[in-house]
Structure 1
């Protein structure tokens, strides 16, 4: 089958945003005199949305719903200020997107990051490549819920099975399976090849250029 569209995850797939996310959350924790975390630790907190990340980053003794909500609001404020400060596309991503654009492959971003932030980062770092960038607007639609992915396929007038879903986490692979799309895992993000395969990845790639061969 010839694939006609690709939906990309954002963090850990298109861009390395680990340091900006971590720095913003650590600033919130420091202001509250809570312990901070290393970048290595934060890579396991990323993938299920910023509210979930805040919940994981807070001390167990200070993780009430009210505390999570308060810290989440502060974290979003801090992160919005710096969300493209250190965040950069992974090696080969810009060239990959240019190649896919030249082939008239439809491309979109679907992230569990807040919708406003997803659109901001996609627009600033990839101003011409994506016709759609969708982030989290309500918890009920968070990946692995396939609703937004299926809506993108409808917008493109493509069958789900004509679309690759590319991501770096188990959540992305489960979203692809739930949407009946072709799951492609990438190893340069925040999770392992084993996790990707066990979550449904049909192909796991190590470099961005390998995606061209699948197309």
Structure 2
């Protein structure tokens, strides 16, 4: 039996443009220059106040928390617009439904999103009830702290050594390593494959269907080349 824990933003959902827009509006409200989209992409995956602290290059504190409140308000306003949509990456829906139907896999999510954000994604894409265990920014310390993975393992009753973490950022890989789980990187997300390998990924896959081969091989198939340079 394997536990497969998916990250959300950048792994299942391509939310970068929505996040960048909400972040820009939040920064503007506080008289700050809007961060470049490429900078915002690099902090996706961290819990929101910590991500903002990184963007403003200041310690986590009242300023980052205030900007985070502005971000939440702007994101919620965007979500309430008619036609709001967070698109899935190709193959994500089929993979989740297939894995959820298998009797040798337990399925979960570990994400820097809020519980409310996860619920919205699941409603929008028909994922309700498919993730047996979920840990979010509302529940645990920010990635790369291992708590999200360890709590999921404890709840399901599967050891970290039998757990795979599928994600697109170095924070996912570092979290998995710290928890003793197998980190599986994806190449279509927000951090470069080289960074994923440098921070512990056992392999980096180029399409979600490849994940099935990786799971069958114990997480070591299709290793990308990285020589430490």
Question: What TM-score, normalized to structure 2?
Answer: 0.82
State the shift of 1:150 in Å.
1.4
Give distance in 1, aligned partners of 2:150 and 2:60: 34
- 2:138: which partner in 1? 137
Give distance in 1, aligned partners of 2:184 and 2:75: 29
1:56-81: CA deviation from partner (whole Å, max 9, x where unpaired): 444x6x99943322221111111133
Aligned residues of 2:100 and 2:131 also touching (Cα < 8 A)? no
Aligned residues of 1:119 and 1:134 also touching (Cα < 8 A)? no
Task: For 1:1-215, list aligned pairs within 5 A.
Answer: 4-58=2-56, 65-83=61-79, 85-104=84-103, 105-125=105-125, 126-137=127-138, 141-215=141-215
Give distance in 2, aligned partners of 1:161 and 1:64: 33
| CA separation of 1:110 and 1:123: change in aligned 2, threshold 3 A | farther
1:172-198: CA deviation from partner (whole Å, max 9, x where unpaired): 111111111111000110001110111
* Other structure's SS at 2:21 match: helix
Give distance in 1, aligned partners of 2:60 and 2:131: 38
Aligned residues of 2:182 and 2:202 also touching (Cα < 8 A)? yes
Q: Name the structure where strand makes up a greater proportion of residues.
A: 1
Structure 1 runs of 4+ aligned residues shifted over 4 Å read: none
Tell me which of the two structures has the higher relative contact order, counting C-alpha pairs closer than 8 angstroms and 6 or more residues apart: 1
Give distance in 1, aligned partners of 2:168 and 2:150: 19
Give distance in 2, aligned partners of 1:12 and 1:73: 22
Aligned residues of 1:24 and 1:75 also touching (Cα < 8 A)? yes
Aligned residues of 2:6 and 2:108 also touching (Cα < 8 A)? yes
1:93-151: CA deviation from partner (whole Å, max 9, x where unpaired): 0011122122232111111233332343344332242122221136x722222122112
Worse-matched range after superposition: 102-111 or 185-194: 102-111
Give distance in 1, aligned partners of 2:61 and 2:158: 41
The CA RMSD over aligned residues, in Å, is 2.3
Aligned residues of 1:144 and 1:175 also touching (Cα < 8 A)? yes
Question: What TM-score, normalized to structure 1?
Answer: 0.86
Give distance in 2, aligned partners of 1:176 and 1:40: 24
Unaligned stretches of 5+ residues in structure 1: none
State the shift of 1:164 in Å.
0.8
| CA separation of 1:37 and 1:147: change in aligned 2, threshold 3 A | closer
Aligned residues of 2:39 and 2:55 also touching (Cα < 8 A)? no
- For these two proteins, the number of residue pairs brought into alignment is 210
